[in-house]
Structure 1
Amino acid sequence: MNCIAVIPLAGLLSFATESVALKMGDALGALLNVTFGNAVELIIFIIALVKNEIRIVQASLLGSILANLLLILGMGFFLGGLRFREQVYNSTVTQMSACLLSLSVISLVLPTAFHASFSDPNLADHESLKISRGTSVILLLVYVIYLMFQLKSHAYLYESTPQNIVDAESEEEGEHLTQSAAVILLLLTTGLVAACAEFLIGSIQDVVATSSVGEIFIGLIVLPIVGNAAEHVTAVTVAMKNKMDLAIGVAIGSSIQIAIFVTPLVVILGWIMDKEMTLYFTLFETVCLFVSTFMVNFLVLDGRSNYLEGALLCAVYCIIGVVAFFYPDEADASSWGS
C-alpha cells in the first residue's frame, strides 16, 4: 500500500520539477529533481541504519544506482525511441558522467577486493571499516568539486542540445506552475513520500518472514524502484517529449549523486551513530554494478539513443532482478558471496 501511495506523489513531484526546470534550465532542474528524489531515499537509508539494517541499506544503495542506470534510463530510451526514431543529447556531458560513474565503481570494487585479501574475516571487517570511512570523505569532496564544475565554472557545457535536428520536434509546452509554487509542491510531496517510506521500512521483516521474498531482493529491487519513483516518472515523461538532456541528467545524475554523495554520506552517518556501515558489498552486487556501468558508458557516449538501446538496458535490469530473487540468504551464502 505504501508503494502504491508513492506513485501519485511521484507524479506531482515530476510535474513540479519540470516547472522548475523550465525556468532554471535543464542542468539545475535535473539536479533539483535528483536531490529531492534522493532526499527521500536518504531518509529511507537513515531509518534502516538506525534500525541496524545494514544489509538492507547496502543493497538499497547499490540498487538505486542500478535502477537509475538500467531501468529509468532504459525506459526513457525505449519509450522515447518508440515516439521519435532517434534522439540526441549532449555527448560532452555524458562523457564527464561516464568518468564519475567509473569513479563510483572503483570506490565500491576496491573495498570488496581489499576485504577478500584477508584470511581473517573479523580483521577484514575491521580494516574495511577504516578504508570505507576514508574513501567516503574523498568522495564527498569530489561531489563538491563536481557541483562547482556543473553549476558554476563549466555550466555552459550543460546547455541543452537543440532538438530540431532530429526527425520530429517537441510538442508545445502546456501550463506549468510558478517557480515558488513548484518549490512548495516539491517540499510537500517529498515529506509525504518520506512518511510512506518510514512505514515501508517497518514492514520489511514481516514480509521476509512470511513470504519467499528475501532481503536482498527487497533491498536491491523493491526499495530502489519505490525510492526512485519520482526520477522514473520525470525521466520517462521528459524523454517522451524529446527532452533527452533533462532525461539523461535525471537518470545518470541521480546515479552519480547516489554513488558519490548519498553512499559516502550514509557511511559517515553510520560512523557518527557507531554503526558498522562500510563500502564492502557482496561479490554479486559488485559485479552487477561493474557490468551495468560498463554497458551504460558504452551506450551513451555517442550522444544518440533509440528504443533498442532502451530495451537492452531494461533486459539487463530484469536479469539482475531474477537473480536477486533467488539469491541465497545469509545462512546459505558462501564466504565470498556474503
Structure 2
Amino acid sequence: MSTNERLSLASNYISVYGSTTNEDTHGSHKLSSSSSPSTVFHISPPTIRESIKIILSSSKINILLIFIPLGYLAHIFNWSDNWVFILNFLAIIPLAKLLDFATEDVSLRVGETIGGFLNATFGNAVELIVSVVALMEGEIRVVQASILGSIISNLLLILGMCFVAGGYYHSEQTFNQTAAQTTSSLMTLACIGLIIPAAFNFAVKSNFPIIDDGIPINGLLDLSRGTAIVLLIIYVLYLYFQLKTHSNLYQGEADDDDEPKLSLGVSLFLLASVTVIVSFSADYLVGSIEGIVQSSGLSKTFVGLILLPIVGNAAEFVTAINAAMRNKMDLAVNVSAGSSMQIALFVTPFLVLLGWVVGQEMTLYFKSFETVVLFISILITNYLIQDGKSNWLEGVMLLATYVIISLAFLFYPDNLS
C-alpha cells in the first residue's frame, strides 16, 4: 500500500483512532474503541530517503550546502584566507538553518517543557560554537565582538526587519506586552552586567595610574567571573519562569501549525551531525580572520561584530521574518529579542567561565564605545516594544540605528579603548 493510500485511509478512519465512541461520517452508528485492530491505521515514519528529501527541501537556503565541502577543500589545500573565510562563511549559513530545523522538530516531539529547553539551548548554538572556537584560539577580541554583534543584530536588524515586513502586510501588529517587557528588562540587567566592569576598569585606571597592570586585570577577572555566575543563575530562573510558573505568557509564541516531519532518531542524528560539521567550519572560519583582516584592512571588531553575526543569526532571520509576515508577532519578537537575551544572559557568562577553565582571560569588560553602543541598542528597543504594538516605521528606526552603528564600527580601529 502506498503512502498516499495509507494517508487517505487514515483520514477516513480518524474518528476511530484515539476515541472511545464516535459517530461515523453519516451519523448512522457509533464505533467503539474495542473495534477490531484492523480498523486502526498507523502512518509509518518517513524512510531514510524520504527524510533526506524533507531535510534538503526544508529551506531554500539549503542550496548553500554546496559550500561545505568547498570550505573544507579551501582549508586542506591552503587556499588564501579570503577564500577560506568566504566559503566557510557561506557554508555556516545553511547549517544554522538546519540546526534550527532539527531543534524545532525534536521540540515538537518531546513536549513543551523539554522542547522549550532545547530551543533555549540550541537557539544560539552557532554563535556559541564560533565563540568557543575563537576563545580556544585566544581570539578574545573576536569573541567579544561576535557576542556584541549577535545581540545588536538580533535587536536592531532582525527585529527591525520583522517590524518592516509585518507592517507591510498588516497595518499594525500586536504582541504579548508582558513577555516582551520581561525580555527587555532581562536585557537591561545583562547590559548592567557589562557596564559595571567597564566602569570598574575606568575607575581603577583613573585613580591608580601607577598600579601594576596585573592587579586591576585580576580584579576585573574576579568581578567578571562573579558577575557571570549571577547572570547564569538569572538565566536559569528565567527558564523556570518561562517554562513553569508563567508559561501561559509564552503559549502564543509557539507555531501550533507545525507538526514533526522526521522521526525522533533522524532529528537527533541531524542535530548531532550538523553541530559537528559547524564546529569544523567555524574552526576554519576563525583561523582565517587574521589573514582577511590584514588583506582587507577591516578591523577584527568589524569582522566579529558585523560579519560573523550574519552567519549565526541566519536561522533566526528567516524564522522571525516568516513569523512576522504571517502576523505571528509573539513568535517573531521571541526569536529576535529573546535570542539577544539568551546570548547576553547565557552565552556571554558561559564563555567567561569557560575561559576561566581553559586559562583564557575572558572578561565582561567591553571597550567603552562598544558598551555605549549596546546601551543605545537596548534603550531604543525598550522604547519601541513597551506598548506591545509595532508598525513598519518603528522597524525603519531600528534598521537606521543598525546602519549607523555598522558605519561607526567600519571606521573604528581595534587599538582604541
Report the TM-score range of the alignment, normalised by the length of the smaller protein: 0.7 to 0.9
Query: In structure 2, how many angstroms separate the alpha carbons of the residues matched to 1:22 and 1:74?
Result: 28
Describe how 1:3-82 pairs up with structure 2 within 5 A: 3-16=89-102, 19=105, 32-82=118-168
2:397 is aligned with what amino acid? L
What's the TM-score, normalizing by structure 2?
0.72
8 Å Cα contact 2:109/2:260 also seen in 1:
no
Contact 1:31–1:249 (8 Å) recurs in 2: no
Amino acid across the alignment from 1:222: L
Paired residues, number? 324
What is the CA distance between 1:76 and its match in structure 2? 1.4
Q: How does 1:15-164 map to 2 (within 5 A)?
A: 15-16=101-102, 19=105, 32-119=118-205, 120=209, 122=213, 123-160=215-252
CA contact (8 A) 1:36 1:186 kept: no
Counterpart of 2:129 in 1: which secondary structure? helix
Q: Give the equivalent residue in structure 2 for 1:258.
A: 343
Distance in 2 between residues matched to 1:195 and 1:240, nearest whole Å:
34
Aligned to 1:117, the other structure's residue is in SS state helix
Cα distance in structure 2, aligned partners of 1:306 and 1:70: 14
For 1:117 and 1:152, the matched residues in 2 are separated by 41
Per mean C-alpha deviation after superposition, the further-off stretch among 271-280 and 25-34 is: 25-34
Give how far 1:176 is off: 5.7
Q: For 2:274 and 2:135, how far apart are their aligned partners in 1? A: 23
Q: For residues 116 and 75 of structure 1, what CA distance do their matches in structure 2 show?
A: 36
Cα distance in 2, alignment partners of residues 102 and 269 from structure 1: 23
Residue 185 (structure 1) shift:
3.7
- Deviations 1:89-124 (CA, angstroms, capped at 9, x unpaired): 111101111210110110001110110001337233
Give runs of aligned pairs for residues 318-337 of structure 1, distance below 5 A: 318-330=403-415, 333=416
Stretches of structure 2 lacking an aligned partner (at least 5 in a row) = 1-86
Q: Partner of 1:309 in structure 2?
A: 394
Question: Residue 167 of structure 2 contacts residue 390 of structure 2 at CA under 8 Å; is this kept in 1?
Answer: yes
SS at 1:329 equivalent: coil
| Matches for 1:157-236 after TM superposition, within 5 Å | 157-160=249-252, 177-178=261-262, 180=264, 181-236=266-321
CA distance in 2 between partners of 1:206 and 1:250 (Å): 34
Residue 118 of structure 1 aligns to a residue whose secondary structure is helix
CA contact (8 A) 1:132 1:267 kept: yes
Other-structure match for 1:293: 378
- Give the 3 Å change call, closer, same or farther, for CA 240–136 of structure 1 in structure 2: same
| CA distance, structure 1, for counterparts of residue 284 and residue 123 of structure 2 | 18
Partner amino acid, structure 2, of 1:158: Y
User: C-alpha displacement at 1:262, in angstroms?
Assistant: 0.8
Shift of 1:12: 3.3
Does the C-alpha gap of structure 1 residues 318 and 13 become closer, same or farther in structure 2, counting only changes over 3 Å?
Answer: same
Larger displacement relative to structure 2 (25-34 or 6-15) = 25-34
For 2:218, give the aligned amino acid.
H
Aligned-partner Cα distance in 2 for 1:53–1:316:
27
In our comparison, the structure showing a higher alpha carbon Rg is: 2
Per-residue CA deviation, residues 280-333 of structure 1 (Å, 9 max, x unaligned), is 110111001100001001101111111111111111111111111110131xx2
Question: How far did 1:231 drift?
Answer: 1.4
Q: 1-side partners of 2:355 and 2:104: how far apart?
A: 34
**How far, CA to CA, are the matches of 1:278 and 1:244 in structure 2?**
35
Contact 2:129 2:278 in 1 (8 A): no
**What percentage of aligned pairs have identical amino acids?**
51
2-side partners of 1:27 and 1:67: how far apart? Answer: 28
2:24 corresponds in structure 1 to none
Q: TM-score, normalised by structure 1?
A: 0.88
2:204 partner SS: coil
- Report the Cα distance in structure 2 between the residues aligned to 1:136 and 1:327, rounded to whole angstroms: 28
Compared with structure 1, are the counterparts of its residues 311 and 27 closer, same or farther at alpha carbon in structure 2 (3 Å cutoff)?
Answer: farther
Q: Contact conserved, 1:33 with 1:231, CA < 8 A, in 2? A: no
Kept in 2, the 8 Å contact 1:73–1:248? The answer is yes
Distance 1:28 1:245, change over 3 A: farther
Q: Are the aligned partners of 2:96 and 2:312 in contact in 1 as well (CA < 8 Å)?
A: no
Contact 1:26-1:160 at 8 Å conserved across structures: no
